[in-house]
Amino acid sequence: MDLSIIVGGSAGQGMQSLSHAVVRAGAKAGFHVFATQDYMSRVRGGHNFSSIRFAENELRTTNQDCHLIVALDKETVETHRINLHKDGLIICDPEDVKVDSEMMFFVPLKALAQKHAGNKIMSNTVALGAIWGLLGGEIKDINDLQEQTWERKGQEIIDKNKSAALAGYTYAKENRPENFKFKFKKANTKQKRLVIDGATAMGMGAIAAGCRFVSAYPMTPSTSLTEYMASHKSSCNIIVEQVEDEIAAINMGIGAANAGARVLVPTSGGGFSLMVEGLGLAGISETPIVIVNMQRPGPATGLPTRTEQADLLFVIYAHQGEFPRMVMAPHTHEEAFDTMVRAFNIADKMQTPVIILGDQFLADSLKTNPVFDFSKVEIDRGKLISKEGGDLLGTDYRRYKLNDDAISPRAVPGRSKALVRVIGDEHDEEGNLIEDAKTRIAQHEKRLKKIEMLRNMGRKPIEYGPTDAPSVLVSWGSSYGAVKEAVDLLNKAGRPTKMAHFIDVYPLNHEHVINAVSKHKSRIAVESNATSQFAKLIKSETGIGMTGFVLRYDGRPLTPEYIVSKIEEGGDLPW
């Protein structure tokens, strides 16, 4: 079973609430669910929609085709009917949509809500029941959801929502069109799953890693990460500061990191632009700090509620002068959790900034996910000196000591007897300002030595598909699910193709790239940007060029069908 639903309407119609309810109901019924949001940057009006997919196997992306459209306005019908399966249906209220078509399944949502719950505002709950009735789900799944959702509001509200859902459910079952063949198969699972978005997964990872300070200025799509951290600040002993701008965010974070805290700075591309000078301060002062850049289309404000992968080269090369940093791009919700833990550990061990590249697609996508195991999280603070630092303490302490491994012992002011000097100028081992060339060279080379160390820490790309395939799709970050399914579609069609998907994108491990990519005759970069940024990085560092490109930059996420169609348009592949 693999069913897709689109729920669409204008901002303010409750479309998002309905979509989330459908996702949670599917999870309660035991299905794997994956859902994305496409919304405009406005409080009311405009066209917004969610794409929701159900299956018995784990899902990591949505697809273009759909079997059911829930239209809260006429624009949803006009926009999405092109993607409706030939035997699919469009659910709508005849009060809202006046379109005569055999694809329409008219349900008096508002009238049923008024009759059975006493309020038209519960028409969304009627729609939820209608969806479940049409697809052959069990009303118990909806009732359980209502009890959980409205528990705090009291039994009267629970009963009204149950009544509204039952009205929609009953109407759909009694009036179900014979030509609608799609139904749920009973899901058999006892596995406990979360319904979680990528931003929340990152937040959980940050908490598990021991993050104690968050400084941020609100900026879509990173705000949901900040909000999650803020919602747990009391229970998890985290300081969360909403500052006046992104310059303050990174500088305040650097201060907290030098005081010993593990620091998270969430932002998006426009905010990261303001952080560049502060990033340099973290670089020269060897301050461990984790920055999350949830990408969105630019330049400037661009499309603030859409998705893109166009900040890669920017975050890699954003600096005055030269210093090391690591850049990671998690590809799944599970990896978002693990990447956050790994980022904090590497930042502390290497005493350098670590940048995590997410995007709106990863941040906002909802997914059923196994419960994270916090007990397996290991925290490594690197060479962080405790009060029992022995000879390293006192006035003889050298914050920037020249060691063979390029990592100096790090003391925290106030937590030891060490005299800690940290400045933004070039410095000697004690942290005193210097001007001489010899000391400059020694400290600069010490920092740059970490680049090769970070390169060797880079993980191998995920390879999927036949290893001897003539073609390889090269991808990174959140496009993983779409690329993986595209590989399945191509191989099923007799076009042997492999995927090489990268998570650790800088410093790039050259050996990993050569082993995974170079032997294939056709090398196709798949990216959500217009200039094939990751392909350029690979070419500049290894000399390996791509032979084809699948690039999307309209603000919408890559889908398996989109990838396959663009490859077929190329027509120059070795199949």
Q: Are residues 244 and 370 in the same domain?
A: yes
Same domain, 133 and 47: yes
Confidence label for 9 from pLDDT (cuts 50, 70 and 90) = confident
Task: At 395, list the tokens.
Answer: 């006035």
| Amino acid symbol at 220 | T
Q: Do 162 and 136 lie in a common domain?
A: yes
Judge whether residue 547 has pLDDT over 50.
yes
Q: Would you state the pLDDT for residue 444?
A: 98
In sequence order, the β-bridge partners of residue 50 are 7, 37
- Four-CA torsion 492, 493, 497, 498, nearest 10 degrees: -20
CA angle 307–311–316, rounded 5-degree value? 150
pLDDT of residue 575: 46
Mean pLDDT on 307-324? 96
- Banded model confidence at residue 573, pLDDT cuts 50, 70, 90: low
Range of the domain at 261: 198-376
pLDDT greater than 80 at residue 450:
yes
Confidence of residue 394 (pLDDT cuts 50, 70, 90): low
Same domain as 298, residue 159: no
> Which helix H or strand E contains 571, and what residues bound it?
none
Predicted local confidence at residue 419, as pLDDT: 86
Rg (CA), the chain: 26
Instruction: Give me the sheet containing 504-506, strands edge to edge.
Output: 239-242, 213-216, 263-267, 289-295, 353-359, 326-328, 504-506
Residue 385 domain-assigned (yes or no):
no
pLDDT tier, 1 (very low <50, low <70, confident <90, very high otherwise): confident
Q: In the chain, what is the straight-line distance between the N-terminal and C-terminal CA atoms, in Å?
A: 30
Nearest 5°: the CA angle 21, 24, 30 is 145
**Structure confidence at residue 338 as a pLDDT band (50, 70, 90):** very high
Question: What is the spatial distance between Cα 24 and Cα 367, in angstroms, rounded to a whole number?
Answer: 10
Q: Which residues contact 300 (CB under 8 A, 6 or more apart)?
A: 270
Mean of all residue pLDDT scores within the chain: 93
Question: Is residue 193 included in any domain, yes or no?
Answer: no
Q: How many residues does the chain have?
A: 575
**How far, in Å, CA of 20 to CA of 108, rounded?**
21
CA–CA separation, 474 and 482 (whole Å): 12
SS3 category, 19? helix
Burial call 302-317: b when 16+ CB within 10 Å, e when fewer: bbbbbbbbbbbbbbbe
**Last residue of a domain, which of 406, 430, 457?**
457
Answer whether 342's CB lies under 8 Å from 329's CB: no
* Tokens found for residue 255: 């201060």
pLDDT beyond 60 at 88: yes
**406-422 mean pLDDT:** 87
Vertex 36: Cα angle to 91 and 20 (nearest 5): 60
Residue in the block written with tokens 């917004």: 48
Instruction: Sort residue 359 into left (φ over 0), alpha (ψ -120 to 50) or beta.
Output: beta
Question: 484 near 499, Cβ under 8 Å?
Answer: yes
Across the range 391-419, mean pLDDT stands at 83
Q: Could you tell me if 224 and 359 lie in one domain?
A: yes
Query: How far apart (Å, rounded) are the C-alpha atoms in residues 65 and 88?
Result: 10
How many independent structural domains does the chain possess? 4
* Helix (H) or strand (E) run with residue 367 in it: strand 366-370
Of 142-156, 375-389, 390-404, 535-549, give the lowest mean pLDDT range. 390-404
- And the tokens for 402? 């020249």
* 98 and 221 part of one domain: no
- Residue 190 domain-assigned (yes or no): no
Q: Taking the model in full, what pTM does it have? A: 0.94
Q: Give the percent of the chain with pLDDT over 70.
A: 97
DSSP letter at 433? Answer: B
The neighbouring-strand residues paired with 66 are 84
Q: How confident is the model at residue 392 (pLDDT cuts 50, 70, 90)?
A: low
Q: Do 510 and 430 share a structural domain?
A: no
Helix ranges restricted to H, 5-138 = 15-28, 74-80, 109-117, 123-134
Residue 514 lies in a domain: yes
CA–CA gap between residue 537 and residue 540 (Å, rounded): 5
Higher pLDDT, 65 or 306: 306
Same domain, 543 and 397: no
Token pair 């609608």 in the structure block, residue? 180
State both tokens at 569: 């348009």
| φ, ψ (nearest 5 deg) of residue 348 | -70, -45
Strands in 548-551's sheet, in edge-to-edge order, are 462-464, 497-502, 471-476, 522-527, 548-551
In contact, 173 and 132? CB cutoff 8 Å: no
Among 431, 426, 114, which residue's Cα sits nearest to residue 258? 431
Do 360 and 288 belong to one domain?
yes
Cβ atoms of 70 and 81 within 8 Å: the answer is: no
CATH number of the domain at 317, please.
Answer: 3.40.50.970
Q: Does 61 have pLDDT greater than 50?
A: yes
181 found inside a domain: no
Is the per-residue pLDDT at 572 higher than 90?
no
- What band does 43 get if pLDDT is binned at 50, 70 and 90? confident
Last residue of a domain, one of 401, 427, 457: 457
* Mean pLDDT in residue range 520-533: 97
DSSP letter at 430 equals T
- Same domain assignment for residues 263 and 401: no
**Does one domain contain both 432 and 470?**
no
Query: Beta strands 32-38 and 45-55: pairing type?
Result: antiparallel
Q: For residues 350 and 453, is the Cβ–Cβ distance under 8 A? A: yes
Tell whether 78 is covered by a domain: yes
Is 7 inside any structural domain? yes
Q: Over 462-518, what HEC string results?
A: EEECCCCCCEEEEEEHHHHHHHHHHHHHHHHCCCCEEEEEECEEECCCHHHHHHHHC
